[in-house]
Structure 1
Amino acid sequence: MTRRARVLATLGPASDAPDVMEAVAAAGADGFRLNFSHGTHEQKAAEIAGIRALEEKLGRHFPIMGDLQGPTVRLGDFQPVQVSRGSRVTLARDGGSGIPVPSDEFFRLVEVGDEVTFEGGRIAARVVERSGGTVVVEALVEGTLAPRKTVAIRGKEYDLPSPTEKDMLDLKFIVEQGLEYVALSFVRSREDVRRLREALSELGSDAWVIAKVETIPGVENVDSVAEESDAVLVARGDLGAKFPLEDMPFIQTRIVDAARARGRPVIVATQLLDSMMENPIPTRSEVVDVFTAVRDGADAVLLTGETAAGRHPVESVEWASRIVARAEEGYAPRRMAMDGGTSIYDAFALGVVELAESMGAKIVAYSRSGNTARRIARHRPSVDTYVFTPDARTARKISLIWGVIPAGILGATDLEGLANEVVRRGLAKEGDRLVLVRGVQKDTTDMLRVKVL
């Protein structure tokens, strides 16, 4: 295989046309994100249908992430406003006398002297006046304030419930549409993740939960948040609005390590190739940023505005794919120690990887839920890892995981059947060594076998 880390693309006005979506996939996208902070369910349904049609056309499986808006504060609707350094703007609860910020929580929390950031920290302003339902801020940089963008107060957190009422409506739609991943925004603790998982269970869904770490408590509680989640996302935009920017490299590494130590896939996102919103070629520093994310151990990099609203969505994916592939050349990923206790399942997976590597064998696994694939991948095997699944849904789930090659849909089979199938599909040839494996199951002894073809 040529690339082990994945590239994910966010769909939006710049990329949701069928021909562009196909070009994005051809450029190297391994999966798609739908941002439920924007758009209608009707628009999202059309995007999902487009992805599923693309699967049929290309013979591939694309995981879809439904990204919930979460407990945040956003600007209301208004005409974009240009600001320059030192200019003053009024923020108003009702919007009648300034730019609308329809949130009681924002006005409860904000104080004179606070630094308010917009759109994930792209624009910053200092609060100079406050009176009831209005706040006057003085811009610290130039830029454009646009509708529906996030508003944060540096060093402070909103006390809002999670999941929100809007999240629950979107979650019901996500479950009805059969999406494989649900991303929870602004996670503060493992309890937020538990509440979302309970809601999914009540709706009858087995979707995997991605915890987006983008709050101060989320970083402080990252170990327990990672333990509770199925995957973790480093949401650098809002993190950069809460923490000093010079702290971001340390925070990113901390989150990646916490997720990997617990065997959770980890995604790095936001402003990876930000200049490609306008330009067809990334900056040198952006290339280094993506390269570093892969070398730090990310399972995937996620393009957001670059593909959703940028001028060059296809080129953005092409560059991300090229950089990821280059970062992996001649590089052996770190094998993390297993924190939080070692289960029999994780110990078994480590043994599989070490056995395969010691004899130069391919790993061929059958994973009913995707957990076996995830456990094997956490140890970053240097050999090819082919995984069969019982259905397309599980195949889509594992398509996001580092180094896992979805081998096809296969009904229940024994290990000899796995060997026959991998040969039939042209994935192995005479003389190849195989480590055949099924997930650990109670009262089952035929879980692992070594075979030379």
Structure 2
Amino acid sequence: MKSAYTPRRTKIVATLGPASSDEKTLARMIEAGLDVVRMNFSHGTAKEHAARVEMVRALARKAGRAVGVLVDLQGPKIRIGRFKNDRITLASGDKFVLDADRKIGDAGGVGLDYKNLPQDVVPGDTLLLDDGRIVLAVTQVKGARIHTVVEQGGPLSNNKGINRKGGGLTAPALTEKDMQDIKVAAQLKADYLAVSFPRSGADIQWARDLMTKAGGRSLICAKIERAEAIPALAEILDASDAVMVARGDLAVEVGDAVVPALQKRMIRMARERNKLVITATQMMESMINNPIPTRAEVSDVANAVLDGTDAVMLSAETARILKMPDVNSRLSDLGAEPVGSTAAEFDAHIKSEIVKWAKVIKDANVELQ
């Protein structure tokens, strides 16, 4: 019987969550073509992550497959606090206060997990909550309180993220939690460490130094999520082993219309430097609720592949896609040789891949046995 797994150029990175962490589901995911598991350190404990990594590696050995482990640091994701009844609904024109000193929120305001936010904003700024679903206009900043008017309302629940339109928040790239999580990643012998919200090459070097100090040898992946990272792309790429086009937070800060061109630019710059590149966020998100992806999603994945991405990353849609062999087969087909490529073009691609991986191995000081 033919295996469901089909080797492909473009790899599949899949996020492990509650729906995709049991042994049976993981085995089916590996059989279906999983190449790298993403451990989202925004959630879960070190013990839970260690158990999942051990299970993945055991199942991969059993299947005769090599499956990498990517630890994704939480980073300085700025979030609101909790509400008394877990959620509220805001309407356009409502007044709403973000208060760094507040503990429990209600329809009039909510607390913050980042106490310096009032120092980072001024009247006239636009704050985007829940990946841009809620839009607030800053009218006044007084002490620890940011007074706003709702420009775009909707439901808002606990711990949703906050972005400032255009970027400019001063939170460092690595939090105290991230520094501890790097030690955990080293203990897990993670293949990749993804650094969230870097602004410069120095942020990447900082993470690399901490990983080395912890005894780890993970390749460092820069997640491009901040507007400030765009002018520093060259130095960030030069300091990294890989880059992730993290389209979610990036789109909130720079605008959806800008992201497609930035994605192509980042993939091109990464390939010029022989760096690995992962394209992420909402690749096939409609499949959380639907059995097949939309045509737009298929085109999105295919265009990322044709642009030269080394991997596509699945998040909330992971379990559903990789448990459906027919859909996964179609996803795998998108990573096969592009339609219409000539033998010469294929040979040129292989040579490029050899050069790229040789450099990655050399830079990482990997000893081949």
Q: What TM-score range do you get, normalising by the shorter chain?
A: 0.7 to 0.9
Structure 2 vs 1, CA of residues 262 and 38 (structure 1 numbering), >3 Å: closer, same or farther? same
CA RMSD of aligned residues (A): 3.1
Distance in 1 (alpha carbons) for counterparts of 2:69 and 2:136: 36
* Per-residue deviation, residues 119-167 of structure 1 (Å, max 9, x unmatched): 3334433334544323344444454323333211011222122322111
* 1:372 maps onto 2:358 in alignment: yes
**Partner of 1:14: helix, strand, or coil?**
helix
Q: Which amino acid aligns with 2:33?
A: G
Distance in 2 (alpha carbons) for counterparts of 1:144 and 1:42: 34
* 1:91 maps onto 2:102 in alignment: no
Q: CA deviation at 1:91?
A: 2.4
Q: 2:203: which partner in 1?
A: 192
- Report if aligned partners of 2:274, 2:359 keep a CA contact under 8 Å in 1: no
Distance in 2 (alpha carbons) for counterparts of 1:249 and 1:191: 26
Structure 2 vs 1, CA of residues 227 and 351 (structure 1 numbering), >3 Å: closer, same or farther? same
Q: 1:330: which partner in 2?
A: 339
Distance in 2 (alpha carbons) for counterparts of 1:23 and 1:187: 35
Query: TM-score, length-normalised on structure 1?
Result: 0.70
**Partner of 1:263: helix, strand, or coil?**
coil
Distance in 1 (alpha carbons) for counterparts of 2:350 and 2:26: 37
Structure 2 vs 1, CA of residues 45 and 114 (structure 1 numbering), >3 Å: closer, same or farther? same
Q: 1:80: which partner in 2?
A: 87
Q: Which amino acid aligns with 1:37?
A: S
Q: 1:217: which partner in 2?
A: 228
Q: Alignment identity in percent?
A: 33
Distance in 2 (alpha carbons) for counterparts of 1:273 and 1:106: 33
Distance in 2 (alpha carbons) for counterparts of 1:154 and 1:171: 29
Distance in 2 (alpha carbons) for counterparts of 1:196 and 1:188: 13
Q: CA deviation at 1:170?
A: 0.5
Runs of 4+ deviating beyond 6 Å: 349-352
Q: CA deviation at 1:50?
A: 1.8
Matches within 5 A, 1:71-150: 71-78=76-83, 79-93=86-100, 94-97=102-105, 98-150=109-161
Quick one: which of 42, 50, 54 aligns to 1:45? 50
- Report if aligned partners of 1:71, 1:162 keep a CA contact under 8 Å in 2: yes
Q: CA deviation at 1:352?
A: 8.8
Matches within 5 A, 1:9-408: 9-78=14-83, 79-93=86-100, 94-97=102-105, 98-307=109-318, 312-314=320-322, 319=327, 322-326=330-334, 328=336, 329-332=338-341, 353=351, 371-372=357-358, 374=360, 390=368
Structure 2 vs 1, CA of residues 19 and 92 (structure 1 numbering), >3 Å: closer, same or farther? farther
Q: CA deviation at 1:301?
A: 0.4
**Partner of 1:220: helix, strand, or coil?**
coil
Quick one: which of 4, 10, 33 aligns to 1:5? 10
The structure with the largest alpha-carbon Rg is 1
- Report if aligned partners of 1:256, 1:297 keep a CA contact under 8 Å in 2: yes
Q: Which amino acid aligns with 1:11?
A: L
Distance in 2 (alpha carbons) for counterparts of 1:47 and 1:135: 41
Q: Which amino acid aligns with 2:97?
A: T
Distance in 2 (alpha carbons) for counterparts of 1:26 and 1:163: 35
Q: CA deviation at 1:51?
A: 0.8
Q: CA deviation at 1:350?
A: 8.2
Query: TM-score, length-normalised on structure 2?
Result: 0.85
Q: 1:430: which partner in 2?
A: none
* Per-residue deviation, residues 265-317 of structure 1 (Å, max 9, x unmatched): 10000111122222222222111111111111100000122227xxx353589
Gaps of 5+ in 2: 1-5
Structure 2 vs 1, CA of residues 110 and 26 (structure 1 numbering), >3 Å: closer, same or farther? same
Structure 2 vs 1, CA of residues 227 and 199 (structure 1 numbering), >3 Å: closer, same or farther? same
- Report if aligned partners of 1:119, 1:149 keep a CA contact under 8 Å in 2: yes
Q: CA deviation at 1:243?
A: 0.4
Q: Which amino acid aligns with 2:289?
A: E
Distance in 2 (alpha carbons) for counterparts of 1:122 and 1:58: 42
* Per-residue deviation, residues 6-64 of structure 1 (Å, max 9, x unmatched): 11100112211222222222332211101111121122122112212211321211101
Q: CA deviation at 1:83?
A: 3.7
- Report if aligned partners of 2:95, 2:147 keep a CA contact under 8 Å in 1: yes
Range with bigger deviation, 230-239 or 271-280: 271-280
Q: CA deviation at 1:77?
A: 3.6
Structure 2 vs 1, CA of residues 75 and 353 (structure 1 numbering), >3 Å: closer, same or farther? same
